[in-house]
Structure 1
C-alpha cells in the first residue's frame, strides 16, 4: 500500500507541475443533504469523501461516504450524536470521527473508528466526560497510525493508537483550550490554535510545546502544506478584516492574507500550492496562492464551514448549510 500511495502522490505532483496555472475555480456540483453537514475529510487514494451528516432533528448522525468519481453518496455509517470531525488514515484505510454528545450526563465525548474496507464501525473510544468546549478537531499521522484529538474540554491533546483503538497518552496545553488542530506528518509537528491570539507549535514526538505564535485575536482553523512546511491559520476578527496567517514550520511569521469575514475551515493542496479558506458568514471560498502568499481568487455563493482537498483529482469539497459543494481547484 505504501508503494501505491507514493506512486499516486508522485503522479499528482507531476500533474500539478505540468498543469497550466490559469482559469478559475468553478462550482462543479452540490450534493444535497436533509440538514446542514459538519466536518469533511478526503481519502485521496480511493477517491472517497467522508462528511458528518446529522438529520433535521440533530439526533441521528451518519458518516456519509461519497464516491468522488460520481459525486454520489454510496453509504451512510451510523455515528454517535454530536459527531463533528472526521479524519482519514489512507494507509490503513481507517476513518476516525470525533465529537461530543452534550445531551447526556455526564457528557460523552468519543472517537469513532471506522473500517473503510467494510464501511462499518469497529470501535468507539471514550475520550472525555467533562462538559466544556468539546472536541475541537482530530488528525491522524498515517506514518505511525497515531491519532491526535484537540480536547477543548480537558485542555489537552489526546493521543490514540489507531491500530489498538485506545488512548495512549496526552499532551498538556498548559490550561489553554484548543480550537482546531493540524499536523505535519513528515516533521511530526502539531499546530494548535487556542481560539485567541495564540497558536501552539507542538513536537508530537516528545509531547512538548516548541513555540507559541502570536497572531490575530480569534484563531479557529489550521492546515499544513507538507511540501513547503508552511502553516495556514484562520483568524476571525470582529474589528477589521479577517485574516489567514502564514507561518513557517517552526512558527516564524511569513505573511497575512485578507479573506472573507469570519473564516473557519482551511485546507491545502501541497502539490498545486493552493490553500482554500471557507468563510460561511460571507458565503465565500478564498483561494491563496502559496507561492506568493497572496489572495488569488474568491469564489462566491459557497456557504461552508469546512474544507477538504483531494490532490489527486484537484477537486475541493466544502460542507455546510448547503450540503457538500464540489469545486475545481483551477
Structure 2
C-alpha cells in the first residue's frame, strides 16, 4: 500500500514540475450549491471531489460528486440529514460521510459508506446517540483501511474497520472534546485539536495520546503533510490576531504565522508543500509556504469554511456558503 502511495506522489510531482507553475494562486471556477457546502474531500486517483451539501428543510442532505477534470457537478448522492464531514480512502475508493441528525430525538450520529465507483450507499454505521457536540471530523488511512471519527459527544475517537464497515474500537481523549481531526497515514498518527489551547498527537496503532501541544486559545482545524511530517493547526483568537500553528510530527510548535480572522478548515499539498487556510470571517484563503512557514498570499473573494487539496492536479477545493470554489495552486 505504501508503494502505491509513493508512486502516486511521484506521478503528481512529475506532473507539477512539467506544468506551467508561474504566477499566483487564482480562482479557476465555482460550483454553486443552493444552501452552500460543508465538508470536502478529494480522491486524487480518480480525480473526484466530494462536498457535503445541506438540503435545508428536507429529510436528507446531499453529497455532491464533482468531476475534477471539468470541475462540474456530476451527481448528487442522498446522505442522512445533518451530514457535515467527508473522508475518502482513495486506495479502496470508499467515501465516508459523518454527521448527526438533529431533527430526531435522540439524535443519531452516523457514518455513511459510499462506493466511489458506483456512488451507491453501501451501509450506514451507527456511532452514537449521546447528546452533545456530535461528530466533528473524519479521516481515512488508505494504508490500512481504518477510518477515524472525531466524536465530540463521547469525547473519543471512534475507529471503523473499513473492510467490515463496523465500529472496531475507540481512543479515549480523557474528557477532552475533539473539534477536528487530521491524519498522517505514513506515521499512522492522528492530530486532534480540542477547541482550546491543546492539540493532541495520537499514536493510532497504540490508541493513545503521546503528546499535547499547547498553542493558541481556540484550535479549530488540522491538516498533516505526510511527506514533511509537519502539521498545520488553525486557531481562532477571540481577541487579537488569529494564527495557524505549524507543528512537527511529534507535536513541537515550529511557527505560528498570523492568518485571516476566524480560520477554520485547512489542508496541505505534500508535493508543493503549500497549506491553504480558510479565513471564514473574511471570505478569503491564506496560503502558507511550508518551506519557511510564512503566509505568501491571500486569495480574496472566496466564501470559505473547509478546504481539500488534490495533489495530483495542484487544485484546491474550498467550501462555503455559496458552494465550492476551485483554486489553482500556482
Shorter chain as denominator, the TM-score bin is over 0.9
Contact 2:151/2:157 (<8 A) preserved = yes
Q: Which residue of 1 aligns with 2:230?
A: 230
Q: 1:60-75 residue pairs with structure 2 within 5 A?
A: 60-75=60-75
Residues 184 and 2 from structure 1, CA distance in 2 versus in 1: closer, same or farther, beyond 3 angstroms?
closer
Deviations 1:281-306 (A, max 9, x none): 11110000000100010000011100
Contact 2:2/2:143 (<8 A) preserved = no
Q: Which residue of 2 aligns with 1:187?
A: 187
**Separation in structure 2 between the aligned mates of residue 239 and residue 86 of structure 1, nearest angstrom:** 31
Q: Does residue 241 of structure 1 match 2:250? A: no
Alpha-carbon deviation of 1:188?
0.6
Q: Which residue of 1 aligns with 2:107?
A: 107
Residues 294 and 19 from structure 1, CA distance in 2 versus in 1: closer, same or farther, beyond 3 angstroms?
farther
Provide structure 2 residue ranges, at least 5 long, that are not aligned to the other structure.
none
**Separation in structure 1 between the aligned mates of residue 323 and residue 21 of structure 2, nearest angstrom:** 28
Q: Does residue 147 of structure 1 match 2:128? A: no
Alignment partner of 2:256: what SS?
strand
Alpha-carbon deviation of 1:185?
0.6
Q: Does residue 89 of structure 1 match 2:60? A: no
Contact 1:232/1:247 (<8 A) preserved = yes
**Separation in structure 1 between the aligned mates of residue 208 and residue 9 of structure 2, nearest angstrom:** 31
| TM-score (normalised: structure 1) | 0.97
**Separation in structure 2 between the aligned mates of residue 232 and residue 314 of structure 1, nearest angstrom:** 18
Alpha-carbon deviation of 1:60?
2.8
Q: Which residue of 2 aligns with 1:255?
A: 255
**Separation in structure 2 between the aligned mates of residue 202 and residue 306 of structure 1, nearest angstrom:** 23
Provide structure 1 residue ranges, at least 5 long, that are not aligned to the other structure.
none
Alignment partner of 2:263: what SS?
coil
CA RMSD of aligned residues (A): 1.4
How many residues were matched structurally? 330
Deviations 1:297-324 (A, max 9, x none): 0000011100001011100000111210
Q: Does residue 271 of structure 1 match 2:271? A: yes
Deviations 1:183-237 (A, max 9, x none): 0111111000000000000000111110100000000000001110000000000
